[in-house]
Amino acid sequence: MGPLPKRKHSRSRRDRRRAHDALSLRHLVRCEKCNEYKPAHQVCPHCGTYRGKQIIEVEED
């Protein structure tokens, strides 16, 4: 068997170890066509274009 802890680590010690595990914000860029923010390397959810080409049809509200 491998090594086991002699005592239970406290919540604060556990949370200090996990401090760097938080999720970071997604990288957003401006769409070339509609100038709205969108996730990088993905189809624009506002106008449906990707790299200057119409990929999906987006219905207007």
What does the pLDDT read at residue 24? 87
CA torsion, points 36, 39, 45, 49, in degrees to nearest 10? 80
Per-residue pLDDT for 58 more than 70? yes
25-54: pLDDT as tens digits = 889 999 999 999 999 999 999 999 999 899
Q: How wide is the angle at C-alpha 1 spanned by C-alphas 20 and 9, nearest 5°?
A: 35
pLDDT band at 2 (very low <50, low <70, confident <90, very high): confident
